[in-house]
Chain A
Amino acid sequence: DAGVTQSPTHLIKTRGQQVTLRCSPKSGHDTVSWYQQALGQGPQFIFQYYEEEERQRGNFPDRFSGHQFPNYSSELNVNALLLGDSALYLCASSLMVGGYTFGSGTRLTVV
């Protein structure tokens, strides 16, 4: 049973560029949540998708946007990258009521 798959695993971008991160949820899961984890900090909730809609959003600017596809996979887009966006981006999938499974994350470095 495949768990949560994220791609790419590592990424280096330049300030001002745009980036798209991808997540395939665990088989049978229909809800995808995205988290940002800066070095030395706990993960911070970005947003959650269910039925292809953003259901909840954390305290992140509009530069952060996302999408969920009919097969439940999801993308996280970040525009106008800042140095402070450098972090580990984690995707977690779940059923609408149920436990979370985390992917191994995408490590984004902005230079």
Chain B
Amino acid sequence: RKEVEQDPGPFNVPEGATVAFNCTYSNSASQSFFWYRQDCRKEPKLLMSVYSSGNEDGRFTAQLNRASQYISLLIRDSKLSDSATYLCVVNVNYGGSQGNLIFGKGTKLSVKP
């Protein structure tokens, strides 16, 4: 079983649609959770951190359910510029070290006019 699993995608949606990404993780020791965005042939960039209380940044809402080991990202009123691959990421810290980021495979989103 992969450590971080995401919807396989791709998602093709019209402008203005609401789209939801789902992700599960297997390591219960995971301590930090993130969504990254990666444009074609570019490096991943942090979109937002994810907290148990849920957090929102404009049109983006992220949720974390530690009991279910489940993470979600909701994009409302999608724009053409939201087209990218969305990566679910967890960080497992090992005994005071920085830990390392474990990435899902990513879900590609294409927003069409």
Contacts and interface: CB of A to CB of B under 8 A. Distances in A.
Contacts, number: 54
B100 A33 contact: yes
A90 interface: yes
B108 to A, nearest CB: 9
A102 B4 CA distance: 20
A48 B87 contact: no
A102 B38 CA distance: 11
B98 A45 contact: no
Interface string B38-65: 0001111110000000000000000000
Given A42-B87, A102-B45, A94 B103 contact: no
Contact of A90 (B43, B94, B102, B105): B43
Interface stretch (A13-21, A50-58, A66-74, A75-83): A50-58
B43 A45 contact: no
Nearest to A56: B100
A99 interface: yes
A42 B106 contact: yes
- Tell me which of B45, B46, B98, B99 has the highest count of chain A C-beta atoms within 10 A of its own C-beta: B98
Interface string A7-27: 000000000000000000000
A58 B43 contact: no
7 contacts: A42-B105, A55-B98, A96-B97, A100-B46, A102-B44, A103-B43, A104-B42
